[in-house]
A and B are shown apart, each in its own frame.
Chain A
């Protein structure tokens, strides 16, 4: 049977099943195949905090959404064109997001009376007509998989577990993805379990063949490769990009990296990846708690390493006092906060950007800390390198505010060549840095560089420069303990001036306004870059004039920020919090910014932001 092929410019697929069904792995593999094919893409994994929530319940549903296209795209997409539902719970939890007319691929084997009852379906939605307005493809995924594996010496349970590979094979056929990469992946993963490997490969191919032979799938879809800027690409998620950025920062500064960390969702992958990078001289220390993790990083920085600590919001709260110490010591330190829903334990596996004010102000005393935030998964690499630049040049702790959406989401990344990376070579102070009035050359631990206001970084082991530092207030220049009121006032202002002065080293805030006549500016920071960008594009397609700017530096702001926000009639700030950047912009520049705020644990949808933009423009 020859099948028709239909061209599409973009497709959004969502895999949904029980947390034990392997949906994240299936999504990852489909993504890898799609990246190989050359589409632009963006992903959104969404899984429960529990490792194995009760099977078959709504709580236990794990999903993975992938948006791929023949042009550059900015978000994982609002509404899936295709939903793969591995059980009734997955259907129930995700159906509302699928537009009428969308495709539903449903594993009918799981639609038993018991499973239906578990999620409150009185009758099977496959039979009661409630799915009539969708394009339903009922597939007996589990039993088809088991049937394809009956010749293998494996248990029924093992055979059933391969059903995600069957589904992957079917989808790969449907969208013309090559399964070669997945075959290689499985060969590696199950190298020592030949029976399981053979079963998975067979299920994968059976799924492909199923699509090719059954009547139910009469159409295949084709999404042509995207035209991206020339270069070598790979697919990468934010946590991996950030870890690589830290490795690169070590190479560029020529400092050994020292990571002190304590496991916490969604930042643990940074610890995992960096612990595998000992070949690059990266030392990792899994500490007894969050405080010890940053303490060790500070100790290592004191000794001349690039100290790093990685965590999420609750961990930052625990580290606050130590961050203040690093401010007082004026030593380089990178603090990575992969933000998640809060307060307290909050939503560990869901995204949010509500730690901005914690990073900005969450310490005792006047303790300014620079803040940078990546705007996309691949930008996590560049932002880590930038954080290392600021930390080492200005001898200060620096916050990197990533989030769960960036950390777990992935996109194609044009890999920078060595010549595109900055030289961040650091030099320690090894001799006198101060001339006293009588002309003698001396070492002064708190004499500052006139340009950057940074104090010297002098590491133990340097002969003749023995000195003591600490959290207690230090006298300007000499670094002796000082309780003098004037000195304290001076030191507080010096530390602030040093951080404020970083702005001089930043690129100006760029504004994107093709019409040049926009009266409304949409300002964002962090992971909202994609949704805001997509929404702005959509609005412009309808003739709306709107400008967009995105902050990667939150403290200090680029020097032209005030000028930018003051030159528009209205400034709209969408944030996944209750208005934290808006508060800073309003207080700093006396601009009556309009917030658009959501804390649902999920990124903004482009369609919804588009509407907000149109409303603001209409009322500007």
Chain B
């Protein structure tokens, strides 16, 4: 395995581009996410050969072909499993997983929750466009109820997943959300995710301009943005709206609610703490978003706590088992009871 100390000149964003022609639809939100990630990767300080992108199937899962690192485009829903095997056997690598909402929450839902609870050292980028793009426009597990699509001409009947509520319920140690078009914010979130030891889940709201255009317009349009996006800043009161006119407060029924900042006692305003051991507040924050309209969507880092990662624990057990020096194969094969025939 290569040494991590590296005297080669620092890599640039350009070096993370591949020769492959990018084949997403023009205008797709994936382009800006790709550009942001490529621009961020040099900052990681990890040699290019020690970075791996693993994906499943879907529009976003083409991502690895466009990043000049090691990469694997696998099968639908299973990227987390492959990344788990890679990260636990090769702790020297920086392993990133790219999944869409159908990939991560429908066909691969089981793997996502188990990766999160195990806290394997992988960084998951969940591109949520609330639709199936590659199969040409069926509703997804994050689509709003009643969505009219090719497979639901009279409206979808299933209640959507709140990806971050699911993640917190699955004992995730790092949970964040960003938006495709907000490169600065996304970069900050990627930075925090990369520093986290263990599984980091970053949900990225991503516009599919072909099959679900405008799904996040409320969060992007300057007219409506302030009232729809709740930015989270560590250690600061959670305020939103024009000039912080709205705020998040403890609700009367055990959860969180929103209020007019002017009408509440400043001490009652929630001060954001992503490092809180108890995930209840983080969960409460995920519940603020109205998934039908996308109003009141918090963005930022919901939770960022330390817990030993699975690969560290595995490495510890391996070390302990090998503390007696290299074992003898012959001794193992012979076991306790042998007899000799002359």
Contacts and interface: CB of A to CB of B under 8 A. Distances in A.
Interface in B300-342: 314, 317-318, 320-322, 324, 327, 329-330, 332-335, 337-342
Interface stretch (A89-97, A291-299, A582-590): A291-299
A432 interface: no
A244 B333 contact: yes
B262 interface: no
B280 interface: no
Contacts, number: 200
Contact of A278 (B88, B318, B335): B318
Interface string A257-293: 0101000000000000000011111010101110111
A490 interface: no
Interface of B: 1-2, 18, 20, 47-50, 52, 54, 57, 64-65, 68-75, 78, 80-90, 92-93, 110-111, 114, 314, 317-318, 320-322, 324, 327, 329-330, 332-335, 337-342
Given A230-B342, A248-B329, A470 B89 contact: no
Contact of B81 (A36, A287, A303, A417): A287
Contact of B86 (A289, A293, A299): A299
Contacts of B110: 288-289, 292
Interface residues of A, number: 72
B86 A460 contact: yes
Contacts of B333: 234, 244, 248, 415-416
Contact of B322 (A251, A281, A464): A281
A253 to B, nearest CB: 13
A65 interface: no
Given A251-B329, A291-B78, A466-B68, A233 B89 contact: no
B82 A461 contact: no
Contact of A329 (B72, B83, B332, B337): B72
A304 B90 contact: yes
A303 B82 CA distance: 10
Contacts of B65: 468, 470, 481
Interface of A: 32, 35-36, 38, 181, 227-236, 244, 247-248, 251, 256, 258, 260, 277-281, 283, 285, 287-289, 291-305, 307, 321-322, 324-325, 329, 415-418, 460-472, 480-481
A302 B50 CA distance: 13
Given A460-B90, A481-B65, A303 B18 contact: no
Given A251-B329, A285-B84, A465-B49, A229 B341 contact: yes
A244 B329 CA distance: 9
Nearest to B92: A461
Contacts of A279: 321-322, 324, 327
B339 A181 contact: no
Given A292-B110, A466-B48, A469-B72, A233 B81 contact: no
B327 A260 contact: no
Given A292-B111, A461-B49, A299 B340 contact: no
Given A291-B78, A292-B110, A292-B111, A299 B85 contact: yes
Contacts of A288: 110-111, 114
A230 B88 CA distance: 44
A305 B89 contact: yes
Given A418-B329, A481-B65, A470 B74 contact: yes
Given A296-B84, A297-B85, A471-B75, A36 B330 contact: no
Q: Which 5 A-B pairs have the closest CB atoms?
A: A295-B81, A299-B85, A470-B73, A296-B85, A278-B321
Contacts of A293: 81
Contact of B340 (A233, A287, A295, A302): A233
A278 B315 CA distance: 10
B131 to A, nearest CB: 21
A283 B90 CA distance: 11
A460 B75 contact: no
Contact of B330 (A258, A418, A460, A464): A418
B50 A460 contact: yes
A300 B337 contact: no
Contacts of A304: 89-90
Nearest to A289: B110
Given A258-B89, A461-B92, A471-B73, A299 B337 contact: no
Contacts of B89: 256, 258, 283, 299-300, 303-305
